[in-house]
Structure 1
């Protein structure tokens, strides 16, 4: 009996990566080789920008597909195949909106070519966020310097990411349907253009591969994984994941600290 899926999509933080923000490269090479032999696509589906993911998978990126910035930018064979930008006025608007209501928020803006961070961000937060940007960020004190095109995502580092839906509802009520907001981690809220999410990004990418959600197995742990987990026929929330992710998934995988993604995939490979 063959494998019941033809593509696998994995979130990064809290899912594919362990507590050290890394993964077992040797084990991944072994699994990826067998998946390729069985003609299964491997997709990284993350809120991270491509510049960061390209570094995370320096030895593998040419063999992978990417749904980056929560579905705003799709990469295949190291080439951009789709781009859904956040309008500059909406990016600046939501930054002002959040900063007025949540004084502790630190802002990071992902662009196709670089990233921007507020100049007065605490040093430790700035260093932490620059890791996710994958590059040194341009420090700004006035967000009007943002370029007209190429903005993918705004990420806010906050004390509690449970405010994500509050931000989304309040902003859209005041300005119309402009943004989608996700609690992507314990202290992170990601904002994309309205309707952009990992599920829609995967749908578009799979269409280019002549596949559908029925061909997909997906793994996630957070609020920005919900649409992806709902879209995939074989969806796994991590044991360490949020209740929101667990409610969206059909199955439960061992925790990211237990190599949960690898264990589930290897079980399928062994039994099929």
Structure 2
């Protein structure tokens, strides 16, 4: 086995339930990755600025497939930024009016945004994942490059909401489950696998030298794409079916254990 790229989802995968990881252990692993010329990629639905905060010492060296592939950065160089058309945004906002049980944010290159009348509870929840988060009066007046909707549903409404959204949104955008009742609406075809492919091309790394870890619906394309794909023991059924291998819990450092084996 010769690995040249390792990509990790964060919540429920690389991070434990306390939203942290064994930093000393990973620091030693990363030093070994650098010695062997292995690229490390953070692939998450979360905001780029939040993801950087987990790796303060190496954020300028590693790559980020953030916002489920809509914003990709290698070191300090922007590789790709997705874009939702004004027509798609307007159509999606109109459809979302039929879902009063959901919380809604729109994500852009500069910040994430939520309406001024969203609850403080949702703001406090969202700020964990979007370190740049602003309240706005009107979604249609945001001056930013917008590429994703972030929704949150009560768990009992989640499955039916995704079914309905897939039917109503059409082909331009796709809803994907991110765990814990969270759903992202992304531009169709711009997902984590899209980001991994761009980085593979950039670094000339073939599929059979790439490993990835995940646990949710938004990891499926990535897990299907890479040769060495690992789903967590608590992963969603669709993620487990997409992965070639299953490993243990995020709370017992199963990803770090597997990285040791890969190294």
Query: Do they superpose with TM above 0.5?
Result: yes
What TM-score do you get using the length of structure 2 for normalisation? 0.94
| 2:163 is the alignment partner of 1:168 | no
Looking at structure 2, the residues matched to 240 and 60 of structure 1 have their Cα atoms a distance apart, in angstroms, of: 29
CA shift for structure 1 position 140: 2.3
CA shift for structure 1 position 165: 4.3
Cα distance, 1:138–1:268 mapped onto 2, change above 3 Å? closer
CA shift for structure 1 position 132: 0.8
Q: Of residues 99, 102, 118 in structure 1, which corresponds to 2:115? A: 118
Residues 199-256 of structure 1: per-residue CA shift (max 9 Å, x gap) = 1111111100011322210000000000000001000000111111000000001111
Looking at structure 2, the residues matched to 197 and 141 of structure 1 have their Cα atoms a distance apart, in angstroms, of: 29
Residues 146-196 of structure 1: per-residue CA shift (max 9 Å, x gap) = 23x511211001113323343123210xxxx21021001121000111211
CA shift for structure 1 position 28: 1.1
Do the aligned residues in 2 keep the contact of 1:180 with 1:196 (CA within 8 Å)?
A: no
Matched with 2:148 is 153
Matched with 1:219 is 213
Alignment of 1:134-213 (within 5 A): 134-135=131-132, 137-147=133-143, 149-160=144-155, 161-162=158-159, 163-172=161-170, 177-213=171-207
| 2:254 is the alignment partner of 1:254 | no
**Aligned-partner SS, 2:239:** helix
Do the aligned residues in 1 keep the contact of 2:173 with 2:185 (CA within 8 Å)?
A: yes
| 2:126 is the alignment partner of 1:132 | no
**Aligned-partner SS, 1:132:** coil
Moved over 4 A (4+): none
| 2:49 is the alignment partner of 1:51 | yes
Do the aligned residues in 2 keep the contact of 1:99 with 1:105 (CA within 8 Å)?
A: no
CA shift for structure 1 position 7: 0.3
Cα distance, 1:165–1:45 mapped onto 2, change above 3 Å? farther
Residues 120-166 of structure 1: per-residue CA shift (max 9 Å, x gap) = 2221111110221112x22124221123x511211001113323343
Do the aligned residues in 2 keep the contact of 1:66 with 1:74 (CA within 8 Å)?
A: yes
Q: Of residues 103, 114, 117 in structure 1, which corresponds to 2:100? A: 103
Looking at structure 1, the residues matched to 147 and 55 of structure 2 have their Cα atoms a distance apart, in angstroms, of: 21
> What RMSD in Å do the two structures reach over aligned CA positions?
1.4
CA shift for structure 1 position 16: 0.5
Do the aligned residues in 2 keep the contact of 1:95 with 1:107 (CA within 8 Å)?
A: no
Do the aligned residues in 2 keep the contact of 1:88 with 1:146 (CA within 8 Å)?
A: no
For structure 1, the residue ranges without an aligned partner over 5 or more in a row are none
Matched with 2:236 is 242
Looking at structure 1, the residues matched to 13 and 167 of structure 2 have their Cα atoms a distance apart, in angstroms, of: 27
Q: Number of matched residues?
A: 260
Looking at structure 1, the residues matched to 262 and 192 of structure 2 have their Cα atoms a distance apart, in angstroms, of: 24
Cα distance, 1:169–1:4 mapped onto 2, change above 3 Å? farther
What TM-score do you get using the length of structure 1 for normalisation? 0.91
Matched with 1:28 is 26
**Stretch of structure 1 that moved more, 152-161 or 250-259:** 152-161
